[in-house]
Amino acid sequence: MKKILSLVLALALIICCFAGCGAKKDTLTVYTEAGFAPYEFVYNNEIVGVDIEIVKAVAEKLGKELVVKDVKFDTIVGAVKSGKADIGAAGITINDERKEEVAFSIPYSSTEQYVIVKADNNTIVNLDNLKGIKIGIQNGTTSDFMIDGLIKDNTLAGSTIVPYDAPALAAAALGSKVEAVVTDKLTAQIIVDGSNGAYKTFKLVKADGSDAAEVEEYGICVSKENTELLKTINEVLQGLLDDGSVAKWEKEFNDKAATVTE
């Protein structure tokens, strides 16, 4: 029995060592969900996008090896908080609730909410028309929180949210499981550009034409304890914003994502 017991302990030890391999110090682990073009998406079997370029620059500055992990969007902030990931970069909108959990960089991009519908749909043109229908949304995103809030305060009485892992997955369900998809501006445009004219998109406005939601700003998040890293990220980001790199990448990856999705 002793032999078996020592065998078990040895095995447990080996497993622990192996699992520990993930926790190296010379790497910069970034969590993202690669279904959000142009910020992060899979291109030629690699994760690319604006966010990836930014964290590449950060890793370079720190002299660390970059590791990008493709996980579920709604787990990213939690993983950054628990220290599993060093950085969360996934076009994450800065909001108060997330700020309670993690620290955000300076904003590097802003967006508005857009609606995607089938091209032949002429009944849905503003916020009021979203009442009482099924709306497809990427799980855990600001679109999710916003529409959820509007349903709860009865602005969108009778509507239901159908959650998806990626906006494009939600768009694929247009006309069957959902009647409209709400997502961020650039993402919506890429999906529509790639749909061969099957879908169209427009800015989410109220019936009187005024903005339905505030402009949102994207930030990169790190653990609150990691003030050094946050400082470096802010320095790098400021540089990239000043020399126009971020704007250049937004256009570059927008084109890249749209041309190959056609």
The H or E element that residue 202 is part of is strand 199-203
Task: Residue 141: name the closest of 114, 118, 106 by CA.
Answer: 114
Q: What is the CA radius of gyration of the chain?
A: 21
Q: Which residue, 151 or 190, is less far from other proteins as judged by CB?
A: 190
Q: Which residue, 110 or 261, is less far from other proteins as judged by CB?
A: 261
Q: Residue 185 CB, nearest distance to other proteins (Å)?
A: 17
Q: Residue 212 CB, nearest distance to other proteins (Å)?
A: 24
Q: Residue 76 CB, nearest distance to other proteins (Å)?
A: 10
Q: Which residue, 186 or 191, is less far from other proteins as judged by CB?
A: 191
Task: Residue 198: name the closest of 178, 164, 175 by CA.
Answer: 175
Q: Residue 155 CB, nearest distance to other proteins (Å)?
A: 28
Q: Which residue, 82 or 238, is less far from other proteins as judged by CB?
A: 82
The residues of the shown chain that bind other proteins, judged by CB under 8 A, are: 1, 4, 8, 11, 15, 18-23, 29, 31, 34-35, 37, 41-45, 67, 69-72, 75, 78-79, 82-85, 165-166, 168-169, 171-173, 191, 194-195, 257, 260-261
Q: Residue 162 CB, nearest distance to other proteins (Å)?
A: 14
51 Cβ contact partners less than 8 Å away, ≥ 6 residues apart: 32, 39, 40, 89, 90, 91, 220
Q: Which residue, 47 or 246, is less far from other proteins as judged by CB?
A: 47
Bridging pattern class, strands 216-222 and 87-93: antiparallel
Angle, vertex CA 97, rays to CA 58 and CA 33, nearest 5: 45
131 Cβ contact partners less than 8 Å away, ≥ 6 residues apart: 156, 157, 158, 159
